[in-house]
Amino acid sequence: MSSKEQGLHLVLEVWRQKGPEDAGRFESYVLDSVSPDNSFLEMLDQLNEKLVKEGQEPVAFDHDCREGICGACGCVVNGQAHGHEKGTTLCQLHMRSFPNGAKLVLEPFRATAFPVLRDLVVDRSAFDRIIQAGGFVSVSTGSAPDANLVPVAKDNAEKAMDAAACIGCGACVASCKNSSAMLFTSAKVSHLALLPQGQVERERRVAAMVAQMDAEGFGACTNTQECEAACPKEISIENIARMNREFFKAKLKRL
């Protein structure tokens, strides 16, 4: 019987931490008969089933839709946020991309603004507060057909949609040596700054969101582009340049 038919043999080094005040440590587990067709989260489900049967605490990890849409899942696999495959969330990463006998080191996203709650689960509510700081859009375009009548340049529409694809998973922060949230924040600023509906609060929005980002304790951007490389939706760092321009204009208008 081939190794594929038998399933994969894996050695897992998993970060275990009981709570925010616990020091945490790595624990080793061996997992056999892992189907190559399983997603990474299904592999973790299999690990947890094994741990429960053995009377041990299952590994806590974030998940929701498991379709690469919600942004809930995420951990660092062998030093890379969401794993080694480009443009892929952890839930869409399949075990067939790992060799038989692979050693996988799993740890939570590391950032001061993302405190570890338990095992691989971190508190990403700092992102929610940045979005809340952006406030509302006061322009009402009515129903969907009415909104579609508002003329938007094709280039702006495409760039806005690309920025709006951000799912807020936090991989950009986890991959950045400074734990910067510039890619996330710039994506949220950009998709409204590029559309006519976002013009009224344009200056106030960018100033408030950047201020909140800084208040949350995220680091500065030094343009290493790791955020773009790790982003499962491949958000461009062009958005960071756009946000910097928006922020500078907003500050000039307030002088």
- Give the tens place of pLDDT for each residue, 146-184: 878 888 999 999 999 999 999 999 999 999 999 999 999
- Give the tens place of pLDDT for each residue, 109-146: 999 999 999 999 999 999 999 999 998 888 888 888 88
Among 1.25.60.10, 1.10.1060.10, 3.20.20.70, 1.20.272.10, name the CATH number for the domain at 124-254: 1.10.1060.10
pLDDT confidence of residue 104: 98
Region 55-75: what's the mean pLDDT?
97
Superfamily of domain 3-118, CATH level 4: Beta-grasp domain (3.10.20.30)
pLDDT confidence of residue 143: 87
Distance CA(55)–CA(52), nearest Å, equals 5
Give the domain ranges of the chain: 3-118, 124-254
- 40 pLDDT exceeds 70? yes
- Give the tens place of pLDDT for each residue, 209-224: 999 999 999 999 999 9
Mean pLDDT of the chain: 95
- 2 pLDDT exceeds 60? no
pLDDT confidence of residue 3: 47
CB 75 within 8 A of CB 120: yes
pLDDT confidence of residue 6: 80
pLDDT confidence of residue 5: 62
Higher per-residue confidence, 133 vs 6: 133
User: Which of 47-61, 106-120, 202-216, 241-255 is predicted with the least confidence, judged by mean pLDDT?
Assistant: 241-255
pTM of the model: 0.93
pLDDT confidence of residue 253: 84
pLDDT confidence of residue 4: 53
